[in-house]
């Protein structure tokens, strides 16, 4: 008996003629995540990816933990692989499932016979395995409607598989199938969640962060690094571009109306992020904004910030309230990092009475006091790059 992992790819099964391309990307992502755990072989068949360890020291528990963070996986199970023989199947079921079955009261057996040359039908397999388990575990009862556990026996072309506990996957699409986009990331709660949500749709992430020393501290930058490392557990490596923003913020403070500070700042951020995104072959920008959360996120305000860029702007949190965003942040373990008391540049020079119904002509008039192009060019030229690597 050998223990393997069976992976269901979920949404990819709906793809047409290019389904194989998506599955190939998923397999590559899985291989990268499994590095360092021991030798293994990956195969694909019938919407299922199989990981078969070839090293007796392969770390199965750590493999399960890593697979739970791979986008494109709907669910997966540890399973026993045995010869296609009923005596071997029954023996393996009793041995492999002993710990699980000793902790429950009711069960049922489901059989799937993909190999139609196997001498028993699916109902016959279910009856024989179920009877053997009832005899071996006297406390068990069969409940076909609401069992504590469902034991699955699947007879395929090469082997038979016995499994019990389904583990929920991260879902979504494999990262790398949806192109690349640039995430504008602060140190707050929202933007890491936004990046995670777009990575779930298969998008490779670059990140753009704006630093304003001495108004922001080195700890604020390190917080962003920590947030991205957490997101990278799901998305893979992330390129981080840290933009010097102090000059721009002081120029806005000294030359523009106070009620427009935040909006003009946001417009500069979008311009700079677009320059970096286009240079790095990103097809869109990503922000963590949701409608009405703050004054700069009213519909009119968002329209004013979008007006200065030509790339699409993805806002996956746009209709979510703060409680929903916090719930997701806790789920992906970014919340405790985000609430560390190190302020980002978005909190610098916040106006007392920000404009909530801005008009583009008024913003353009206010910006005419600034050399916008020169400020943007200097900020882009001073940008620092660092690769945030995936860690476990």
| Digitized pLDDT (tens) for each residue of the chain, 392 residues in all | 799 999 988 788 777 778 889 999 999 999 999 999 999 999 987 778 999 999 888 999 999 999 999 999 999 999 999 999 999 999 999 999 999 999 999 999 999 998 889 999 999 999 999 999 999 999 999 999 999 999 999 998 889 999 998 899 999 999 999 999 999 999 899 999 999 999 999 999 999 999 999 988 899 999 999 999 999 999 999 999 999 999 999 999 999 999 999 999 999 999 999 999 999 999 999 999 999 888 788 999 999 999 999 999 999 999 999 999 999 999 999 999 999 987 777 776 777 778 788 899 999 999 999 999 999 999 999 999 999 998 87
Which stretches within the chain are classed as H helix? 19-33, 60-67, 86-96, 98-101, 122-136, 190-199, 218-235, 246-255, 261-279, 299-306, 322-331, 335-338, 360-367, 372-381
Asked whether residue 189 falls in the same domain as residue 116, the answer is: no
Asked whether residue 210 is assigned to any structural domain, the reply reads: yes
Residue 297: what pLDDT?
Answer: 86
Residue 13: what pLDDT?
Answer: 74
The CATH number of residue 57's host domain is 3.30.2130.30
Q: Which domain holds residue 77?
A: 2-170
Residue 165: what pLDDT?
Answer: 82
> What is the total count of domains within the chain?
2
Asked whether residue 237 falls in the same domain as residue 156, the answer is: no
Q: Is 163 exposed, middle or buried (0-12, 13-18, 19+ CB in 10 A)?
A: buried
Tokens (6 digits) for 353: 């009475």
Residue 189: what pLDDT?
Answer: 95
With tokens 């406390």, the residue in question is 139
Tokens (6 digits) for 111: 């059989």
| Secondary structure (DSSP) of 229-276 | HHHHHHH--EEEEEEE-HHHHHHHHHHS-GGGHHHHHHHHHHHHHHHH
Asked whether residue 10 falls in the same domain as residue 143, the answer is: yes
With tokens 């970014």, the residue in question is 334
The CATH number of residue 301's host domain is 3.40.50.620
């Amino acid at each position: 008996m050998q223990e393997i992992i069976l992976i269901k790819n979920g949404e990819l099964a709906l793809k047409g003629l290019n389904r194989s391309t998506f599955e190939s990307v998923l397999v590559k992502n899985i291989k990268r995540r499994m590095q360092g755990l021991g030798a293994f072989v990956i195969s694909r068949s019938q919407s299922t990816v199989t990981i078969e360890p070839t090293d007796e020291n392969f770390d199965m528990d750590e493999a399960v933990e890593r697979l739970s963070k791979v986008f494109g996986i709907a669910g997966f199970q540890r399973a026993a692989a045995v010869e296609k023989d009923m005596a071997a199947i029954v023996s393996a079921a009793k041995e492999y499932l002993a710990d699980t079955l000793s902790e429950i009261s009711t069960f049922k057996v489901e059989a799937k016979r993909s190999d139609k040359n196997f001498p028993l039908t699916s109902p016959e397999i279910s009856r024989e395995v179920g009877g053997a388990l009832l005899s071996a575990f006297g406390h068990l009862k069969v409940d076909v409607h609401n069992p504590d556990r469902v034991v699955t026996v699947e007879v395929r072309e090469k082997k038979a598989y016995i499994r019990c506990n389904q583990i929920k996957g991260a879902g979504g699409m494999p990262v790398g199938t949806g192109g690349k986009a640039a995430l504008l990331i602060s140190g707050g709660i929202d933007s890491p969640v936004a990046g995670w949500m777009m990575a779930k749709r298969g998008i490779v992430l670059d990140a753009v962060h704006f630093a304003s020393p001495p108004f922001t501290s080195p700890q604020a930058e390190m917080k962003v690094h920590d947030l991205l490392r957490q997101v990278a557990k799901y998305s893979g490596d992330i390129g981080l571009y840290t933009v010097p923003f102090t000059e721009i913020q002081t120029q806005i403070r000294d030359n523009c109306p106070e009620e427009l500070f935040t909006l003009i700042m946001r417009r500069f951020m979008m311009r700079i992020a677009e320059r970096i995104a286009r240079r790095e072959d990103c097809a869109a920008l990503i922000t963590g904004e949701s409608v009405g959360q703050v004054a700069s996120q009213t519909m009119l305000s968002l329209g004013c910030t979008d007006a200065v860029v030509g790339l699409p702007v993805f806002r996956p949190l746009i209709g979510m309230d703060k409680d929903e965003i916090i719930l997701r942040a806790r789920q992906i373990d970014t919340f405790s990092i985000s609430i560390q008391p190190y302020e980002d540049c978005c909190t610098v020079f916040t106006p007392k009475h920000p404009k909530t119904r801005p008009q583009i002509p008024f913003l353009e008039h206010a910006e005419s006091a600034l050399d916008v192009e020169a400020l943007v060019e200097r900020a882009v030229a001073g940008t620092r790059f660092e690769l945030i690597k995936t860690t476990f």
